[in-house]
Amino acid sequence: GGCPAARDTLWVNMLPSPEANVTFEEDCFGSPTTFTNTSTSADPIDFFLWNLESGVTSAIESPTHTFSEPGIFDVELISIID
């Protein structure tokens, strides 16, 4: 009884992940902070997403941003190979 076994081969091409790297120049509060994207990848990076502060994002490769208040912020860069 039961169904016969079926077999298939699937080839998966695993690409190396991009390595996200950032440098930045900070200034006094009220002045823009310049973020320079120095990410590297063996394949072209297709998309960048920055989370700069709560509710503020950017898809620009190397954005500038003026923070809404003084403080310490977690800035996140996501680099994507499509």
pLDDT digit string, tens, across residues 24-74: 988 889 999 999 999 888 888 888 999 999 899 999 999 999 999 998 899
CB 82 within 8 A of CB 44: no
CA distance 73 to 11: 42
- Whole-model pTM: value is 0.73
pLDDT, position 11: 76
